[in-house]
Amino acid sequence: MERMISKVTRNFQVTIPYEIRKVLGIKEGDYIEFAIENGKVMIKPVRKVWSTIRLGREVTVEEIEEIASKAFKDDSS
């Protein structure tokens, strides 16, 4: 396993090394999921297919929450 080091900024941000971004297919604007397993941090890209809402009508907060909840529930694999 190749080790790579990245510095934490004052805003607690880190740059994901190029080799990792390339292997995982991570691009600017992508979402990343973090998990801690056996004392190690695991990262993986979150691939979602977002629902669309037809324009031209009012959308309730409940409809938006339902769509968002379904999108995140579908990806909990």
Q: What is the model's pLDDT at position 50?
A: 62
Answer yes or no: are the C-beta atoms of 32 and 44 closer than 8 Å: yes
Helices (H), strands (E): how many in the chain? 2, 2
pLDDT at residue 17 in the model: 94
Residue 28 pLDDT: 92
> Where are the chain's structural domains?
18-74
Q: Which stretches does DSSP call E strand in 9-60?
A: 31-37, 40-46
Q: Where are the alpha helices (DSSP H) in 1-77?
A: 18-24, 61-74
Q: What is the block-wise mean pLDDT of the chain (77 residues), using blocks of 10 residues?
A: 91 94 92 93 82 72 81 61
Do the Cβ atoms of 51 and 71 come closer than 8 Å?
yes
The tokens describing 18, both together, are: 């190029």
